[in-house]
Chains A and B, each alone.
Chain A
Amino acid sequence: DGGITQSPKYLFRKEGQNVTLSCEQNLNHDAMYWYRQDPGQGLRLIYYSQIVNDFQKGDIAEGYSVSREKKESFPLTVTSAQKNPTAFYLCASRPGTRETGELFFGEGSRLTVL
C-alpha cells in the first residue's frame, strides 16, 4: 500500500540533544512538508520541499533543519536550538505542482523533551 511512514511514533529527548524524525513516502510525490502541531494552535509549517535537493523555510523554521537527498525521504532534525521542541510532528506530501493542493499526511511523531 502506498503511503507516508513516519518514525519513530514516540521519541523522548534530553535537553541539549539533537534528534532526527524520519519521513518516507512511496507515493512518488514531488513535494513534502513538515508541520508542527501544538494544542490549541493548529498546524504550523516548519519546512517544505518541492523537488529533490531543494527546500524552503516555513513559518517556524528556527531550531530545525531538513534535507531532501532522495525524492521519497524528507527527514527533520530538531536541534538543541529549538527552545520548546515538545510537540506532535506531522509529515505530508503532495503530487506535482499542477494539483489542487491536497496534502497526504503520515501518522505523526510525538517528541517529548525531558
Chain B
Amino acid sequence: GDSVTQMEGPVTLSEEAFLTINCTYTATGYPSLFWYVQYPGEGLQLLLKATKADDKGSNKGFEATYRKETTSFHLEKGSVQVSDSAVYFCALSGGSNYKLTFGKGTLLTVNP
C-alpha cells in the first residue's frame, strides 16, 4: 500500500537558518503530494502541493519539488522564523477515493 516516510524530529533551529525536512514516498501510479502544517492545538492547514513530476509547490517561503525518480518531496525554506514553529506533515493522495496517507510528522522549533 501507499506510505510516506519523513524525517523524524524534533528539529530545532535558530531564526534565519535554512530548513530541510526530508520526505519520501511509496505509491502506485502518480500520486499528488502535499505538505501540511499544524500549529499547537489546531487542525491541519495545507502549506503547498504538487500534482505531477517536476512540479514545484511554494507558499510563504516554503518550497518542495516532486521528484519521481527519487520518490521524494523534501520541504525547504531559506530563512525560518519563530512563527514557523509547528508540526509539518508530508502526505500523498492516490487511488480513486483520494484519501490522504500521512507521514508521522516533524516537530520544528525555531528559537530567536
Contacts and interface: CB of A to CB of B under 8 A. Distances in A.
B104 interface: yes
A4 B63 CA distance: 27
Nearest to B95: A101
A42 B98 contact: no
Interface residues of B, number: 24
Contact of A102 (B31, B46, B96, B103): B46
Interface stretch (B11-19, B37-45, B68-76, B77-85): B37-45
A102 B49 contact: yes
B98 A43 contact: no
A101 B104 contact: no
A42 B100 contact: no
Given A58-B99, A97-B98, A42 B104 contact: yes
A33 B46 CA distance: 16
Interface in B53-94: 89, 93-94
A76 interface: no
B99 A43 contact: no
B53 to A, nearest CB: 14
B43 A56 contact: no
A107 B97 contact: no
Contacts of A50: 97
Contacts of A107: 42-43
B24 interface: no
A31 B88 CA distance: 24
Contacts of B94: 101
Interface in A6-65: 6, 31, 33, 35, 40-43, 45, 48, 50, 56, 58
12 contacts: A4-B43, A31-B98, A42-B104, A50-B97, A97-B98, A101-B94, A102-B46, A102-B93, A104-B46, A105-B43, A107-B42, A108-B42
6 closest residue pairs by CB, A with B: A101-B93, A105-B43, A42-B104, A101-B98, A43-B102, A105-B44
